[in-house]
Amino acid sequence: MPPILPDEKRELLVILKTATEILEHIKTDPNDIYIKDEIEFAGKVQVTGWIFPCRLYVGDHTMGFVAHLNCRDTRSKPMLNLNGLTCEHRVNPIGIDEPSPRFSWILNSDETNVLQTAYRVLVSTDADFSKTVWDSGRIKSNRSVLIAYDGEPLCPSTRYYWTVEVEDNHGITNGACPEAFFETGLMADGNWPALFISPKNENDPTRSEGWYLSKTYEIRGAVASARIYATALGLYSVTVNGIIDENYLLAPGWTNYNSRLLYQTIDITDSLQIGSNIITAHIGTGWYKGDLAGWMSKRCVYGNRIGFSMVMHVAYEDETEETVMTDETWESFPSPVLYTEIYNGETYDARRETDLSMPPKSGGTGPVVLLDMDRSTVCAQDGPPIAVHEVLEPVELLTDSQGRTILDFGQNLTGWVRFQVEGPAGSEVMLKHGEILTAEGDLYTENLRAAKQEILYILKGDGIEEYHPCFTFQGFRYVLVEKYPGTPKKKDFRAEVVHSKMPPTGDFSCSNPLINQLNHNIHWGMKGNFLDIPTDCPQRDERLGWTGDAQVFIGTACNLRNTASFFTKWLRDMRTEQKPDGGIPHVIPDVLFDAAETDDLLEGAHSATGWADAAVICPWTIYRQYGDERILEENYGMMKRWVECIRRQARDEVIWDTGFHFGDWVALDAKEGSYFGATPNDYTATVFYANSADILSRTAALLGNEDDSEHYGALYRRIRSAFLEKFYTPSGRLAVRTQTAHVLALHFNLVTKEHAQRTVDDLVKIIGEENGHLTTGFLGTPYICTVLARYGRLDEAYKLLLQEDYPSWLYQVKQGATTIWEHWDGLKPDGSLWSPDMNSFNHYAYGSVGYWLYTTMAGLEAAENGPGYKIIDFRPRPGGGITSASMRRETPYGLAEIIWKLVGDEMTVIVEVPCNTSARLFLPGQRDAEILGSGRYERKTIIRTGGISV
């Protein structure tokens, strides 16, 4: 793509006859040359005695090769480059159905205090930008995040290239951009064209087996590009001529299939050949037909028959096109998967394998039937795909009490084991998965409840065989090799770590190795539970999208990985599940719709405080973290209906004292044998009601709905006034004497200024009564350190954080945890275990303290008036004997970083401010913040001995 060159005399046009002559002008140097056709070179070009960094573009031309050199004298003017080009939060996405996709880019400069002053976006259907469909023109604006397309209506199945030219406040215009594109999907707008097919013999709701669906298609010429758009009732993978696509694992993911069924776009250009081509879909039970909420014995929640639907679009080099779809002419035959369930695992008989690059054997296939399916629910994949991201080797081979081998992968994870084996036909490999070992060294599986997590592989006896599960996943650290032909060896086993594709964005460390391990555990807990939806745990017979867990952890999650698309998808799922009265289910997708009838613990199936409030808290957090206003626009109706649902239930519209609530779930101040903490439900419900009304008011103001903003702002003030009257004494004492009650009142700003100090003092006193330990549950734990630090008790926050005995975060670390536990005492100090009824060792909710590590200890946070890190607050708060900390965060504008170090009483702070942002640096011991533009800065200050800021 020729660059958009600045209107200055820094342009050089060189016409040369061959690429070789161009290369003769390049002196090898590791910088700055890009040649079209994806051949990269690096170097500098000698021009009239000056050395110029440049970008070189080569393309076919009637006069020979043409090279555009965007050159400048580096000794006199700074450079401005762009990278990080994304469309809808993703790099070069394919298969999007968004009619007005949004573009973002990151500025890089060797100058300081760089701000964008103007931009121009071009979108074209060709890489040379000769077929422009949108030219924004020069827009005077500092916006570089989520600029919406505003051109001609987009066409389906089309690749669009886009680029951007920006100008900064120093008068510098960028050089050429890296190539960026997006590709539309079918854009069917509720009119999915393909039929759903199912094997005729797949008609038993009780069976959980795999099937193949196959069709041979003729390709009549050279292919320019080809796509398969596919989805399934169940889970599926697609093979073309024996080549399997692994970009979408466990597709189509989990949604409320009755309202939203996602399709995936698969690039099969390189898999097709002229002549006959065999397309094979492998389908399995998955979430659609299989067991869900195992303790409630649910099955076939969405349907009792698996199926598949596909559109294949082929564009030939002769510029003709062809579209084919699933229909009744397809064939079906059983797959080697004899049994597959999300919770229980898989049985695979390799003796039934067939060569998928060849047509099915004559007589071995059966017909398909057409399914009566509401195809209006099919829409494009809008969340990140599930993929394998890491591969771990066993760190040790152990032996259990029966002499059997146990693989220790050294890390509690979510995924599966890929193994290789050699042996006679019919011999078996059986693997059983668990999180911990018993005191005797045996695999502990009681906490899995009804989930079996077993893999059974039957050998075909044909040399070395390799396998990993097709339609299931496990949560585990340890794997018992119960059956295996021969002696298991480390080299034969690998654990593949599986989760949604979310690019890493945050990197924290400090001088305390236990805290670093805690951060490691938080991150791995997230990876283990962000598999298409934010689950509670990945191992037992649950693995549901609990709303309460998600909302307390979302801030931490956004610091660790880019979760914008992940939560966009999940919130769309949530909107389809909202009840007619505005209620929000406990889990999304909702499989507990009849919980009150089928579960003794649950008295209601939806609308619990702190859980249903995810409908408001999650969109607001995504807006704050990514500057994404559209997520507020999309979810505003849901947010408003939820607040109205509470208002109708609340006494005098202000005190919410009705309904079922989890409350401060599994808090340590609960009564013996109870999961419900001691903080009264009417207290927690009213607090979260107030918070949701406040967020709704602010959201309405942002979206320009002043009437709603005023209305819900007034409602918030009424709730706050009623809260103070009901729960505070005239002398300013909080009547509810629990840690969580004090934390929530302070965190959500429901305390008057004159009563705040007493509330903080009482909180510290209550903590002291527990010998400096917390007793909080799911609702209080995320905010306790934040509250203490905010209200002048940073010392108490560090004391809580650094406790190493039970109950504490570091107690788990000292016990060898590699993820976050569900219970503070999942493994008790005496070696005994919490009740197996509910004792996950990978349950991320208490990992929400990560947000405090990143924003308070390290001190990097988006300013209240700078969503998406447009304005950054650097506010390091050292304490607890910690002598250094750092946080790197890939913001929508680029890398922000803080590094601080204590030597005696002197504190050195280094910060990196990305281009097109500004920052405020609050140093301990200094009264005012320093305002910083982009660049890297080092500052020093003196603080009191012991690390407590002045």
Phi, psi of 623 (to 5 degrees): -60, -45
> For residue 153, which amino acid is it?
P
End-to-end CA, the chain: 55
Give the HSE-up count for residue 39: Cα atoms under 13 Å, Cβ half-sphere. 9
For tokens 């429901």, the residue is 750
Task: Return d(Cα 76, Cα 862) in angstroms, integer.
Answer: 34
User: How is residue 515 written in tokens?
Assistant: 């805290």
> Is 218 in contact with 392 (CB distance < 8 Å)?
no
Torsion of CA 859, 860, 864, 865, to 10 degrees: 130
Provide the 8-state DSSP code for 209. Answer: -
Task: Return d(Cα 727, Cα 266) in angstroms, integer.
Answer: 57
Count of CB atoms within 10 A of residue 829's CB?
A: 11
Give the HSE-up count for residue 388: Cα atoms under 13 Å, Cβ half-sphere. 16
Phi, psi of 247 (to 5 degrees): -75, -25
- CA distances for 645 relative to 134, 579, 658, angstroms: 43, 10, 12
Task: Return d(Cα 262, Cα 315) in angstroms, integer.
Answer: 24
Phi, psi of 191 (to 5 degrees): -120, 60
For tokens 């934040």, the residue is 786
> Is 559 in contact with 624 (CB distance < 8 Å)?
no
Count of CB atoms within 10 A of residue 209's CB?
A: 19
Give CA angle at 150 (148, 154), nearest 5°: 105
**Residue 88, helix vs strand vs coil:** coil
User: How is residue 157 written in tokens?
Assistant: 């199945």
Task: Return d(Cα 298, Cα 796) in angstroms, integer.
Answer: 46
- CA distances for 400 relative to 113, 296, 391, 434, 833, angstroms: 62, 32, 25, 13, 19
| Helix 614-626 with 629-649: angle, nearest 10 deg | 160
Annotated catalytic residue 822? yes
Torsion of CA 86, 88, 94, 96, to 10 degrees: -160
| Helix 564-577 with 629-649: angle, nearest 10 deg | 40
Task: Determine how β-strand 345-349 pairs with β-strand 337-341.
Answer: antiparallel
Task: Return d(Cα 543, Cα 588) in angstroms, integer.
Answer: 11
Single out the residue of 848, 844, 210, 851 nearest to residue 538, CA to CA. Answer: 844
CA 944 from centroid of its chain's CA atoms: 40
Options 822, 861, 890, 897, the catalytic residue = 822
Torsion of CA 243, 248, 251, 253, to 10 degrees: 170
Per DSSP, helices labelled H in 609-680 are: 614-626, 629-649
Bridge partners (DSSP) of residue 533 are: 531
> Is 586 in contact with 609 (CB distance < 8 Å)?
no
Options 209, 341, 482, 542, the catalytic residue = 542
- CA distances for 385 relative to 245, 468, 496, 748, 879, angstroms: 12, 19, 16, 35, 40
Single out the residue of 839, 873, 886 nearest to residue 519, CA to CA. Answer: 886
Annotated catalytic residue 542? yes
Q: How many residues does the chain have?
A: 950
Widest distance between CA atoms in the chain: 89
Catalytic residues: 542, 822
